[in-house]
């Protein structure tokens, strides 16, 4: 009986877990929207499949947090997070930047959950959520690298267009 009491999650930790699960679903929906937006484009960025994969991953993470909460006797009450009012995700780099913003906020929520769990001495919760925080950091690093890479590619392309455009303009002036 005493072990059952220890296994229960505190109300404060339960609220934090609900927020993380809800935000995981929010990010999943944003990724799904991005994947669909670019999926219909013949010249879709190569990372469009990344968006689709992440939609599934984030949804699965949300389910795992909800299952954890249920196993620990917590109340499942996912707060509603308003969907971003974006119908046009813009260039691929813009979508990656928005994805990075979403991931950074999720990282913050996970770090807040870690703080609450630490303050509550919820070692089981700390073990459970540790792998998600590690994955989250890898994901944000990946997005940062992708943004830098694609911005560099865009700059190179713009520079090459300028290089080829200037001789054509110069030859047009001589005519």
Query: What is the spatial distance between Cα 102 and Cα 83, in angstroms, rounded to a whole number?
Result: 11
What's the token pair of residue 152?
């560099």
Contact 106/87 with Cβ under 8 angstroms?
no
Q: What is the pLDDT along the chain (175 residues), one digit of tens a residue?
A: 444 444 799 999 999 999 999 999 999 999 999 988 887 665 666 778 889 999 999 999 999 999 999 999 999 999 998 877 777 888 888 899 999 999 999 999 999 999 999 999 999 999 999 999 999 999 999 999 999 998 898 888 877 776 666 655 555 554 4
Rounded to two decimals, the pTM is: 0.83
Q: Where are the alpha helices (DSSP H) in the chain?
A: 2-7, 11-39, 48-71, 92-119, 123-174
């Amino acid at each position: 009986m005493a072990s059952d009491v220890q296994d229960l999650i505190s109300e404060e930790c339960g609220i934090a877990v609900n927020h993380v699960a809800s935000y995981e679903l929010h990010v999943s929906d944003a990724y799904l929207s991005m994947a669909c937006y670019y999926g219909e484009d013949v010249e879709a960025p190569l990372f469009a499949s990344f968006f689709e994969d992440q939609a599934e991953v984030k949804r699965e993470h949300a389910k795992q947090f909800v299952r954890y909460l249920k196993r620990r006797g917590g109340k499942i009450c996912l707060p509603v997070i308003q969907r971003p009012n974006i119908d046009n995700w813009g260039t691929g780099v813009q979508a990656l930047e928005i994805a990075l913003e979403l991931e950074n906020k999720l990282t913050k929520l996970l770090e807040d959950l870690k703080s609450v769990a630490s303050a509550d001495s919820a070692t089981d919760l700390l073990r459970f959520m540790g792998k998600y925080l590690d994955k989250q950091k890898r994901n944000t690093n990946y997005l940062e690298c992708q943004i830098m890479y694609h911005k560099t590619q865009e700059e190179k392309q713009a520079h090459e267009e300028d290089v080829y455009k200037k001789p054509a303009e110069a030859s047009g002036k001589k005519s």
